[in-house]
Amino acid sequence: MIGLGVGEKHIAGYQSDQRCHVTMLCDTNQSKLSEVGSRNRDCSLTTQPEDILTSPDIDVVSIASHDNYHRDQIVLALQHGKHVFVEKPLCLFEDELDDIVRNLKINSNLLLSSNLILRKTPRFIELRERLYNNDLGTPYYWEGDYDYGRLHKITEGWRGQIPFYSVVHGGAIHLLDLLCWLSRSQVKRVQALGNKLATHDTKFKRHDLVTALLEMEDGSAAKVSANFASVVPHHHKLSVYGTKGTFEQSHLGAAYFWERDPQSKPELVSTAYPGTAKGDMLPAFVKAVLDGTPPEITAQEVVDVMSISLAIEKSLQTQKPVNVNYQPINN
């Protein structure tokens, strides 16, 4: 495990499979390393990520370091024969994604996946099943809003201190992945805008609000936003408009609407949200490594959603529509 903030939560996910043993923990912060190490006394401790990334005795590495280190650590892990599970985002820039894809092609026997955890939310799993059953008819419009509700993390924490932090890569990417997973369609083209009105007088120099319109391959339209300045608790808002019905989730709850009549009552949703823990995707990843079963999120899916996120950032900078440049790993 590299990075012991969120990374510590990966430990239980690996340990749920008795065939898997967590052997080494890394954090560049010595006090954090010692604290987590005290709770995991069977693990070796290091402040040097390379000790894990190049070790011949380690088969899988979890990367939960700061975003600007992800590319280098992923590539080094692949080059030393390791399967990789990485917190989002995969990387920050297009050339970094090119580098990762190149190394995935060279090391095609290795697995890579990412912790896009909304796929494990029971409420969204139920929604996906209902979409597959055509309960909502044909979806024609999707809305997803990543309301961060933790402004201090970009104005005071490491996110505002690294050379480039993207609220799209670091937040909205969850909704982008959820959209693709629910719709079974790819994003064709994006157009984005944003502002930093909420943080104009802080040390954070990038957009704290980004919203993007998405043109889907199936003809539907979508809007996805990353709202890091939101004065609300952390939440994932989602609306799916279909020809037979509508699903809406807000801070006040979730419901299915089946009628246009204002007197009709919606079907309230009680299925758990978020209903997940940070390590919930790890058991399936370990099983994929050891048994050859398909991972819950494939490397291609991780690369594809990163490609959408990069297109949004490019549109934000150019103020023009941008086609998504997908990169197939297996040609």
Q: Measuring CA to CA, which residue among 52, 71, 121 is closest to residue 278?
A: 121
Per DSSP, the residues of 125-153 read HHHHHHHHTTTT-SEEEEEEEEE---THH
Helix (H/G/I), strand (E/B), else coil: 268: strand
Write the CATH number of the domain with boundaries 118-279+307-323.
3.30.360.10
**Cα distance from N-terminal residue to C-terminal residue, the chain:** 31
| 143: phi then psi, degrees, rounded to nearest 5 | -135, 130
What pLDDT score was predicted for residue 331? Answer: 58
Give Cα 167 to chain centroid, integer Å.
12
> Cβ(211)–Cβ(205) under 8 Å?
no
Instruction: Give the DSSP letter of residue 224.
Output: E
Q: Measuring CA to CA, which residue among 141, 139, 142, 144 is closest to residue 121?
A: 144
What pLDDT score was predicted for residue 330? Answer: 86
> Cβ(82)–Cβ(73) under 8 Å?
no
Q: Where in the chain is the domain with CATH 3.40.50.720?
A: 6-117
Residue 287 structure tokens: 């099983």
> Cβ(210)–Cβ(196) under 8 Å?
no
The CA-based angle 183-187-193, given to 5 degrees, is 120
Q: Measuring CA to CA, which residue among 55, 54, 49, 62 is closest to residue 22?
A: 62
Question: Quick one: CA torsion of 111, 115, 121, 124, rounded to 10 degrees?
Answer: -70
What pLDDT score was predicted for residue 236? Answer: 98
Q: Where in the chain is the domain with CATH 3.30.360.10?
A: 118-279+307-323
State whether the Cα torsion 270-274-279-282 is positive or negative.
positive
CB-count exposure of residue 32 (10 Å: 0-12, 13-18, 19+): middle
Per-position pLDDT tens, the chain of length 331: 999 999 999 999 999 999 999 999 999 999 999 999 999 999 999 999 999 999 999 999 999 999 999 999 999 999 999 999 999 999 999 999 999 999 999 999 999 999 999 999 999 999 999 999 999 999 999 999 999 999 999 999 999 999 899 999 999 999 999 999 999 999 999 999 999 999 999 999 999 999 999 999 999 999 999 999 999 999 999 999 999 999 999 999 999 999 999 999 999 999 999 999 989 999 999 999 999 998 899 999 999 999 999 999 999 999 999 999 999 998 5
Write the CATH number of the domain with boundaries 6-117.
3.40.50.720
CA distance 28 to 5: 11
